[in-house]
Structure 1
């Protein structure tokens, strides 16, 4: 399967697709029209040599996906906010006052976004990294092997993560996000398998993809088990510090595997990708045709798929 270089994620009633520094958010509005917004995101690091360094690029990509994800999610949610302002009570504003108001709101939005990203990272570390560690220490009175304790910590981490994913999938709004997640994957799979990007072709494409954020997070969990089993210290305080310090390294290594998986059809790589694909059975659902249309609109805003598909067909001959 030829690598397209595009990636994306689901948002509220829509899909975001990113191709290099260009990204598009397509949203199905309450009036059923599709709104498409195209923007650029240069990332947190501008230096290309640093950005492309192995391991480090995974850390940057993870942080950037959080930031961009929050921005696009906020944008998509803005179409569904209740209009509670009484137009008659709104005071008229001059152009200058309106400009200042917009600047103020933008600063507040950026501050809120930054705070949300930081809080999300802190909560994720606390729930998925530190909580399993402390729960595993409860078994040290009956289990003497540190190898077994480290393995138990990893199992607890996996149970918490998979349980969380399964639990939120029961929510109606999240289920619709998972359907758009399926539309995103199906659109990418469609063109990467050399088919024209049409609703019919997308519908029969797979909703599972090896370059998925779900697979990345699961790989993070599995890689952390290996790291914590083989890198051990006796001090409980140092063990906590070590886990915190190794998080960027674990994220970087996991990213390198996902990156390799997205470019390779090697049998071993495909086998190691299976657990992530299985987990996508929870985080992706089959979309309806209207959701597929939103995914197609997002792809076409950032990626000229026709020459790409033609190239794949020539290679297949």
Structure 2
């Protein structure tokens, strides 16, 4: 499995690509032009040693990715706002709103995908006496809620377009990592599924949480809930390590465990239109020397 080191995210009518601390956002504006802007993200945590510690680096990466993703979405959305709304914005206000948005998103996600399944599972304690059965039921409920959410929002027209740009992002990365020139024709025939995907990461979080929570055997319901919340960063860190390994390995066992995430990507990525592929290509070219990378692959294959 070739590893280019680049990653991305679909945004509103565009794609964000990141390579190290550099990232670029390409957006198809209402007048059908492609606007590309480069940024530098030093990250929220400056200590490089801490950021390289297994599991901990997963927590750091998750927080930084969430923050960067919100910034990219806000940036792309600005092209579709009224001019008066743009003039009213200022940097302090944007940062404040960004902080509130990230915090609210985390709280909402914890509430829906962690606390809600736990609360529902408590209703079955009078039916099942086994702690293991209740924990497994909670995990199944969590998976169903997550999958229902992903499938449900895919029916929204705006989200469907985001999923198409998500597909364009994956196709570009696969195109490069397969040693092909980055053009519309080659990208179009590349796969839209990729093992280093945020969708796969979230699904792995759901699956690993089942195993972790099975071992929380305390009688007090409130304490069980608190322990679940406290374990979320650990679960995120472990999940990141798996996704990191999966993105660099073709080990048959790793590939088997990657299958569920790839299957879910059939919902969260859709086949993009050619004009969407052009936007994704523009974002890649702004931060990554794909020609040098592809040439290196071809030399290694000779």
TM-score, structure 1 length as denominator?
A: 0.93
What does residue 182 of structure 1 align with?
167
The Cα shift of 1:81 comes to: 1.1
1:203 and 2:149 aligned: no
Which runs of 4 or more aligned residues in structure 1 lie more than 6 Å from their structure 2 counterparts after TM superposition?
A: 101-104
SS of 1:253 mapped into structure 2? helix
Superposition RMSD in Å: 1.4
SS of 1:265 mapped into structure 2? coil
SS of 1:54 mapped into structure 2? coil
The Cα shift of 1:104 comes to: 7.4
Partner residue of 1:259 out of 237, 240, 244? 244
SS of 1:200 mapped into structure 2? helix
Matches of 1:155 and 1:16, distance apart in 2: 33
What does residue 39 of structure 2 align with?
39
SS of 2:90 mapped into structure 1? helix
* Number of residue-to-residue matches in the alignment: 302
Superposed CA offset, 1:246-266 (max 9, x none): 000000000000000000000
1:57 and 2:42 aligned: no
Matches of 1:103 and 1:174, distance apart in 2: 27
SS of 2:218 mapped into structure 1? coil
For residues 74 and 227 of structure 1, do their structure 2 counterparts lie closer, same or farther at Cα, with a shift above 3 Å needed?
A: same
What does residue 27 of structure 1 align with?
27
Matches of 2:83 and 2:25, distance apart in 1: 22
Decide which structure has the larger Cα Rg and report it.
1
The Cα shift of 1:102 comes to: 8.2
> Which is worse superposed, 102-111 or 223-232?
102-111
SS of 2:26 mapped into structure 1? strand
The Cα shift of 1:315 comes to: 2.1
Where in structure 2 are there 5+ consecutive unaligned residues? none
Contact 2:23 2:39 in 1 (8 A): yes
SS of 1:16 mapped into structure 2? strand
The Cα shift of 1:156 comes to: 0.2
Matches of 2:84 and 2:105, distance apart in 1: 29
Matches of 1:305 and 1:284, distance apart in 2: 23
Where in structure 1 are there 5+ consecutive unaligned residues? 86-100
What does residue 72 of structure 1 align with?
72
TM-score, structure 2 length as denominator?
A: 0.98
What does residue 199 of structure 2 align with?
214
Matches of 1:28 and 1:216, distance apart in 2: 28
The Cα shift of 1:233 comes to: 1.6
